[in-house]
Chains A and B, each alone.
Chain A
C-alpha cells in the first residue's frame, strides 16, 4: 500500500496550535476503536473460531479428523484441482497480458470485459453454465453420453468450473503491470536480434516476476477455496468429487464441527500464507523501487 502520513508529518501536526484539542483526540480514538471493533467482530472472531473449534477437543481429535478416508480424498482432490487449474490460469494470464499490454488492436476492451466477467458472475451461475453445456440435457449431453465421457459430476467438470472462476486473477495482476512497464525493453531486445521466446523469458519474465507470483498465489487460494461453482457441478459423490470446501459443508451439516473446522483450518492457514506472501512481495517490490 502507498505510504500513509509520514512520521515527520504526524510530528508536525502534533505541534500545530489548536490541533490536539480534545475533540480531535476523541475522534481519533473513536475511529480507531470502532474500526478495530468492526474488524474484530467480522474478521478476527471468525478466524479465531476456526481454530478454537478445531482444537476444542484437543490436538488428538484435530489430527484424527485427517485420518478419515473421505477427508483425505477431499484434500487430494483439492490439491489435484489446484495442480491442474493454476498452471492453465498462469499460461492464460501470461498470454492474455502479452496480447493486451503489448499490442494495440480493436476489440481490446471486449477481451478485457470477458476476462473480468467471471468476477462479476455468481459462482452458482459459473457452475450452472457447465451443467447446461455438459449435463445430461445439456448441449453436449447426448454426445458425451454416447461416448461414455463424464464431465459433470466428475473431475473434468470440477476443473472447468474452478478454471472459470479463477482464471482472471493472474491476468488481472499482469495486465496493468505489463502496461505500466511498457514495451521499451522488449523492443530493444528484438532489435538486438533476440527471438520472441528469448525476449519473453529473459526480458519480460524477470520484470513481472513479483506480480506473476502474487497472481499465481491468489489464483491458487481461490482455486482451492472455491465452493459455489464446484458445488453445482460436482454431484457430491463421496470419495470422488468432493473437494475440501464441499467436505467442510458435509461435515458441518453432520454436526461434526471439529472435523469441519479442522479441514477449514487448513484452508485458513493457506489464506494466511497467501497474505504473508503478498506482503513479502510488496516489500520486495518496494525495495526494488517498482
Chain B
C-alpha cells in the first residue's frame, strides 16, 4: 500500500444474549470510548469513521448506523456504513484501513454493532438472505446450510463428530480467559456429543450463540501509529473477496472460499503460514467451520485435519492457537463479529491479551465470513494479517 497502516487501539463491550442495560448507541459508545482510551486518543483525533452493521432486520431498525453515528464519534465527520453480511466487521476494518492508506485520513475508527437479541428468530431472518424466487422456499437458513456442508465435508475430509466436539471444548475453555465472551462455561467432549441435536451433524454444543455487542478498532497512519502505540499492530495484508455459489452450477459448492486469506498472505509475503503465523482469530460460528479452515488456510492437507485436531494443534498450548478469545462459537453479534476477530488479533500482536495472550506472536491472522457457505448466491470472505513489524 502507498501508506502503511496500523491498529493502535481496540474496544469491546461484554457480549450477551440481550443487553437490557444498553441500547444500540449505548453499546457503540462503550466500545468506541474504550478503543479511544486504549489508544490514548480523544474524539478530536478521529478523522473519519467506518461503521459495520449486518442485516438490519436482526436489529429491527433500518440504517441503524445513522442512529448510532454520534455515539461512534462521527458527528461532523466523514462516516459510511459497510454491510457484507457476516463478513461486515472484516470489510469495515478493511474499508477503514483504505481510508488511512489513501493518504486522506490519519486516524480512522472502525466500529461495528449488532443486537441479535432484538429478533425473536434470527434464522427466520437469515432465510431472507436467499433468493426469494428459488432458494428461500426451501426454508434454508445458516444452520441447515452449514449442516449440509459439514456432512459432505465429513465424507471428503475424514473427520467425525468427535473432532468437531474437540474444537467446541477448546473454544469454550478459551472463552473462560476472555472477560468479554458471551458463553463462559466449560464443556467436555461428552457434553457436546450429548447436547441437543440442532441439525445433524450439528449439536447445540457445536453452534454459536446469538449475541448483542459492539466492537471498535482504531487505525492510524504509520508516523502517527508509532507515536500512539508502544507496539502497533501493522496491517500487512488484507482482502475482501466475494465468491458465488449457485447450487448445481458450481462444481465444488462444499465450503466457504478462502481466496481472501490467500490474497492477504500474498500481500503480507507469507508463503508458509504454518511457520509464519503464530495465532489465528478465525470466523467460525460452528465447530466444523473451524476445523475445515486448517486446510483452506493452508496449515495442512485435508487428510491431516483429523490427526491435527487430535494432536491439539489449535489449542492454547498447541502449535498454532486458534481463537484464544473463545471465538465466534462463544460470542456472535453478527455485524461486529468479524471486527472482533480483527480486534483480538491486534490484541495478540500488541501483547494486550492478558490471560488469553499467546506468547511470541509476530503475525496474527483474522478472518471473516458472510453470506452463505456452499448453497446459494454469494459468500463474502475477509482476511487481515497483522504483524509486529511493518
Partners in one complex: no
Interface residues of B (CB under 8 A from A): none
